[in-house]
Amino acid sequence: MKVLVAVKRVIDYNVKVRVKSDNTDVDLTNVKMAINPFCEIAVEEAVRLKEQGVATEIVVVSMGPKACQEQIRTALALGADRGIQVETEDKLDSLAVAKLLKAVYEEEKPELVILGKQAIDSDNNQTGQMLAALAGLPQGTFASEVKVADGKVNVTREIDGGLQTVALNLPAIVTTDLRLNEPRYASLPNIMKAKRKPLAVKTPAEYGVETASTITQLKVEAPAERQAGIKVGSVDELVEKLKNEAKVI
């Protein structure tokens, strides 16, 4: 079966972002970028499915400017077979990404599409669910376990109260949670090999997808800073402060 994986180029998770002084956005100049951690887990899961003989081909797709080819190459180095970049300089909202993914889905006809549950920049947690709705497919979001068998995929999901398992008809959409797997490191030979794997470049216009958003970002501000408090010298002092100063116990 063919597996499609969506990966997003985002700020590296170790970087603490700063808001621009004119409050129009966060400052991403010269900031280290990387593959979204949840997307990396999605790629790893697809590669494991291939190693188990369940998946036959892994296609990885990213929407964005030319630079997101780096993240496609990272996914190819981890074991994906070929890449598709949908090139756009526009700021895509989740619905636009989902519409583009639906077009790719229709062209590629995969049995399984794996996405990250959320991108760590916009923290939307929307794209997979939107793609599922647009394509009329079932979804297993926040997956911590994925098992494919008998034309179905069983997905164990991390929910507020614990874990839930659902059975989905294929084709289906899965979004990854952190504990689904631990992604491998790409080896140097695989990084070299990835450079020669096919990578097709498309545009939203070729897919006939309109990417305008109904959402306008008016302003971006830094959150109210928390001031560091004091260090207490003993448990007695801590309990005394909590009782008499903060009055919370």
Partner 1 sequence: MSILVIAEHDNASLNAATLAVVTAAKAVGGDVDVLVAGTSCGSVAEAAAQVDGVSKVLVADSASFENQLAENVSLLIAEVGKDYSHIMAPATTNGKNILPRVAALLDVDQISDIVSVESADTFKRPIYAGNAIATVQSSAAVKVITVRGTAFDKAAATGGSAAVEQLGAAHDAGTSAFVGEELAKSDRPELAAAGIVVSGGRGMGNGENFEILYSLADKLGAAVGASRAAVDAGFVPNDMQVGQTGKIVAPELYVAVGISGAIQHLAGMKESKIIVAINKDEEAPIFQVADYGLVADLFEAVPEMTGKV
Ligand X SMILES: Cc1cc2nc3c(=O)[nH]c(=O)nc-3n(C[C@H](O)[C@H](O)[C@H](O)COP(=O)(O)OP(=O)(O)OC[C@H]3O[C@@H](n4cnc5c(N)ncnc54)[C@H](O)[C@@H]3O)c2cc1C
168/54 Cα distance (integer angstroms):
16
Is residue 239 within the footprint of partner 1 (CB under 8 A)?
Answer: yes
Is residue 144 within the footprint of partner 1 (CB under 8 A)?
Answer: yes
φ, ψ (nearest 5 deg) of residue 37? -55, -40
φ, ψ (nearest 5 deg) of residue 107? -75, -40
189/187 Cα distance (integer angstroms):
6
Is residue 243 within the footprint of ligand X (CB under 6 A)?
Answer: no
- Closer to partner 1 by Cβ: residue 178 or 186: 178
- Closer to partner 1 by Cβ: residue 61 or 131: 131
Is residue 125 within the footprint of ligand X (CB under 6 A)?
Answer: yes
**Closest distance between partner 1 and the C-beta of residue 202, in Å?**
21
When CB distances are held under 5 to 8 angstroms depending on the partner's kind, the choice from partner 1, ligand X, none that residue 35 binds is none
DSSP state at residue 25: S
- Contact set for ligand X, span 210-239 (CB under 6 A): 213, 215, 217
Intra-chain end-to-end CA distance of the chain, in Å:
58
When CB distances are held under 5 to 8 angstroms depending on the partner's kind, the choice from ligand X, partner 1, none that residue 244 binds is none
Is residue 162 within the footprint of partner 1 (CB under 8 A)?
Answer: yes
List the structure tokens of 152.
Answer: 């179905």
- Contact set for ligand X, span 9-28 (CB under 6 A): 13, 25
Q: How many residues bind ligand X (CB under 6 A)?
A: 35
List the structure tokens of 210.
Answer: 């309109």
**Cβ 19 vs Cβ 28: under 8 Å:** no
When CB distances are held under 5 to 8 angstroms depending on the partner's kind, the choice from ligand X, partner 1, none that residue 220 binds is partner 1
**Cβ 128 vs Cβ 176: under 8 Å:** no
Is residue 44 within the footprint of partner 1 (CB under 8 A)?
Answer: no
**Closest distance between partner 1 and the C-beta of residue 124, in Å?**
5
Closest CA to 10 of 31, 38, 36: 36
83/115 Cα distance (integer angstroms):
15
DSSP per-residue string spanning 46-60: HHHHHHTTS-SEEEE
Is residue 238 within the footprint of partner 1 (CB under 8 A)?
Answer: yes
User: Identity (one letter) of the amino acid at 137?
Assistant: L
- Closer to partner 1 by Cβ: residue 66 or 243: 243
- Closer to partner 1 by Cβ: residue 163 or 205: 163
- Contact set for partner 1, span 95-134 (CB under 8 A): 95, 98, 117-118, 120-134
